[in-house]
Amino acid sequence: EASQPLAAKPEAVTNQKTTAIPPRATPLMRQRDVMEMERSGELKFQTITNDGNDETMVSLITLKNIFAKQLPKMPKEYIVRLVLDRNHYSLVCICDGDIVGGICYRPHFSQGFAEIAFCAVTASRQVKGFGTRMMNQLKQTVKDDGIEYFLTYADNYAIGYFKKQGFQRQVTMKRERWVGFIKDYDGGTLMECPISEHVDYTDLPRLIDTQRKAILDHIRATSQAHVVHSSLTQLHEFPVDEHGDVRGSEVSITSAEDIPGLAEVGCRLPRYAYTWDGEASTLVHVMETVLKELLAHQDAWPFLSSVDVSEAPDYYDVIKAPVDLAMIQRRISLGTYRTLRQFAADVRQMCKNCRTYNGEDNIYFDCALNVEATFDALAKRATETST
């Protein structure tokens, strides 16, 4: 059983407008776009190492320049030494014939893991899925060499990227398997990524689609969440008055059985008990008692009826959810309010509208403050308890 005073948690007011936000490409959408570029031949990946070939050397120097530009805090001499080291390999990302990024890594074949040294993409290709695609290509490539884990030292700027690629701070490999094989870095965070032999990393979107379908099929088989029922307006009448307010007392919904699908999932419509000054009461009695006090308040005169546009021509351009005491009284009579929270929300919206339109330091602002303060005091005398 839950109990709360009338003053607590007023429900949201209707007619609030929201600004449409354009959809953003999800990581999965970006991966599909990059895969399409791969299928068309626009994008390619190649694993190279310093084999003494002139063409390979040009590619390694190009990749070295990308690392140096995108990783400005890394000493350039150190980048050159590792990229050209014959124990290191580099996966290069080639788009329209140009190298646009890559990953330099050192495989420790005898230990079954590889250390990621550098990973970067040119600025124009970032946040387009290239970095993720490179890492997935590398995971698939090294599996053929018996590599089961990646290790890397990530600085604070790279931790987020590596987390998205499946890296974690906890190293699960046995310590003797990797200690002494990789260099420690001050200020870096050691991260590990296990590589599964059962996952095709080059086709993750298909794998995710398969998993999603399996989950949805299971949900469909064990629940009724997929069933779409007729709308309430097709099953019930919702009569309104000349002001557009629903005549709540004439709506025939009284239990969960009146709403298709609700009873089947074990839900029920909430029912409430009310008190006023500690004595049992009813919803209508509490609201009428509070409203009577508000109508008699010496500062309630601005709220007795709707705002006259001849006195405030732009009022309804500024205030999109107008409320006044006459409207509240009419809604009580119609049975529009089903909870005290709905009633409280309208009273508070009325006072908020007044402050919003008139600003501070004027009689209307003071009236709104005084009426709302009186309402707060009255609200403490009422409770709404779910039964």
Known catalytic residues?
115
Q: In degrees rounded to 5, what are phi and psi of residue 98?
A: -110, 140
Rounded to whole angstroms, how far apart are CA atoms 17 and 40?
Answer: 44
Phi, psi of 215 (to 5 degrees): -65, -45
- To the nearest 10°, report the CA torsion of 315, 321, 325, 331: 140
Give the single-character DSSP code of 240: B
Q: Do 275 and 382 form a contact (C-beta atoms < 8 A)?
A: yes
Tokens of 21: 């936000």
CA-CA-CA-CA torsion sign (100, 160, 129, 204)? positive
Classify residue 162 as exposed, middle or buried by CB count within 10 Å of its CB (0-12, 13-18, 19+). Answer: buried
3-state SS class at 105: strand
DSSP string, 188-202: -EEEEEE--TT--GG
- How many other CB atoms are found less than 10 A from the CB of residue 257? 12
Half-sphere exposure at residue 175, Cβ-oriented, CA atoms within 13 angstroms: 0
Structure tokens given for 228:
């779409």
